[in-house]
A and B are shown apart, each in its own frame.
Chain A
Amino acid sequence: DQQVKQNSPSLSVQEGRISILNCDYTNSMFDYFLWYKKYPAEGPTFLISISSIKDKNEDGRFTVFLNKSAKHLSLHIVPSQPGDSAVYFCAAENTGTASKLTFGTGTRLQVTL
């Protein structure tokens, strides 16, 4: 039972355009959501997060939107750069449970020139 789903295994975007990565969750107990970026042969690195009390969080080129009623979040990258090419994992947490993260299966983003 996949509680966090990333239905797009891959995404290709031109440099300078917007990249939109989507994530859906089923567990209504999740109250904190994170995006991690992963390059080959490296561990995931934290990118941006959002608490369930907010619907938007912005950090430079990265913005995460949360729609609690739809149990959906998205990561927007504007403008996309070639260095953004990586696998992006959505993760969710119930903050009352020792920070255990439930991850989605990841979306591979390729930013082309």
Chain B
Amino acid sequence: NAGVTQTPKFQVLKTGQSMTLQCAQDMNHNSMYWYRQDPGMGLRLIYYSASEGTTDKGEVPNGYNVSRLNKREFSLRLESAAPSQTSVYFCASFGQGISQPQHFGDGTRLSIL
């Protein structure tokens, strides 16, 4: 009953360090997403991948890069972390059909000092 798995669950970085957040789904979903959640801001879309081999920017892409490694895996990279990127990051996947909602992982809590 894995669904969407995110690693790591917690991470502390120093300003300027790099980091890759990993996400894998086992539901054979085509689409995958990265969101960040900040206090009072709800969840905001960073990047998404509508299908294997494609990636597109969301609402807040600056400072991030993504890789859709294969159908199962979608990683988010911070090349040079900044304190403004302190947040909780959620990965989600989506299956076909309007009645299929996005499934979320349990998040990665990232602090940048």
Task: Tell which of A10-18, A78-86, A102-110 binds the partner.
Answer: A102-110
| Residue from A9, A46, A51, A106 in contact with B101 in the complex, judged by beta carbons closer than 8 Å | A46
B interface SS class: strand
What total of A-B pairs shows CB separation below 8 Å?
56
- Chain A nearest CB, measured from B48 CB (Å): 6
- Per-residue contact bits, chain B 9-46, to A (CB 8 Å; 1 contact, 0 not): 00000000000000000000001010100001111110
| Residue B61, interface by CB 8 Å | no
A104-B42 contact given A34-B101, A43-B90, CB 8 Å threshold: yes
- Number of residues of chain B lying within 8 A (CB) of chain A: 26
Contact A105 B99 (CB under 8 A): no
| Residue A61, interface by CB 8 Å | no
Contact A43 B104 (CB under 8 A): yes
CB closest chain-A residue, reference B49:
A98
CB closest chain-B residue, reference A95:
B98
Residues of B within 8 A of A99 (CB): 31, 94, 102
| Residue A89, interface by CB 8 Å | yes
Contact B106 A49 (CB under 8 A): no
A44-B90 contact given A49-B99, A98-B31, A98-B48, CB 8 Å threshold: yes
Interface residues of B (CB under 8 A from A): 4, 31, 33, 35, 40-45, 48, 50, 56, 58, 90, 92, 94, 98-99, 101-107
